[in-house]
Structure 1
């Protein structure tokens, strides 16, 4: 069984993330969405909220692709998380050349830690290349329209979150 791990903070999950999940599903028999706890980033949504959003978004994807998609929070090294879920493939989405520089370093470090785990890069679809969770949060915080970047349930969660903060 080919198990892939697609890690990220997903704060919040965007259409770009969903595109990568859909396309990664064609490469594996089981896809684990690794939700990084990453307290240093100071996420807008807590871990439980992010996990719930991802699970809700992935139900339909799993049905469409016929691939089991599970959500797995983690706070350890990415390579250790890959081993914890028996993944032999780490899937990373790339939007721009600047993403590649960081990811290239990560691949080298991960290969040094465990050379049995491969990393595969998937380029975001052109219409999703500009989407970044950080920018989506900023647009939503300032009352802008994020419909082009997230699903309706995620948009509602963003609106509710920012309303509760005022």
Structure 2
């Protein structure tokens, strides 16, 4: 099965439309606070005279990519104290990254469910606290084939 093309709504944009030097997907939820500060520098159209101020606020408030994926973005604007135009660009860019990441996760989950063996292997391993301990691990064959149980 070929994954279907992402559905775009009027006004929705791809992250490449917002960032300079966008060469590969950005996984927002994995971005550190410093990564977010670096992304600000790459944001097309942002007021460069205010970027340092925005970066300081991002660092002071520990705003990582994971925070951006979970927070109510409308509550974030006064925290960063961005100018209106800069805020619109930043909010739209973050929204596009969140949407792109969620679409990647859906595609990967579909791929995993088609190929992965999700049976649990139970192994007995030595433990320093008792004579044995039970370890559970998911088994995913590297060849993409299913094992028959």
TM-score w.r.t. structure 2 length? Answer: 0.28
Rg bigger for which structure? 2
TM-score w.r.t. structure 1 length? Answer: 0.26
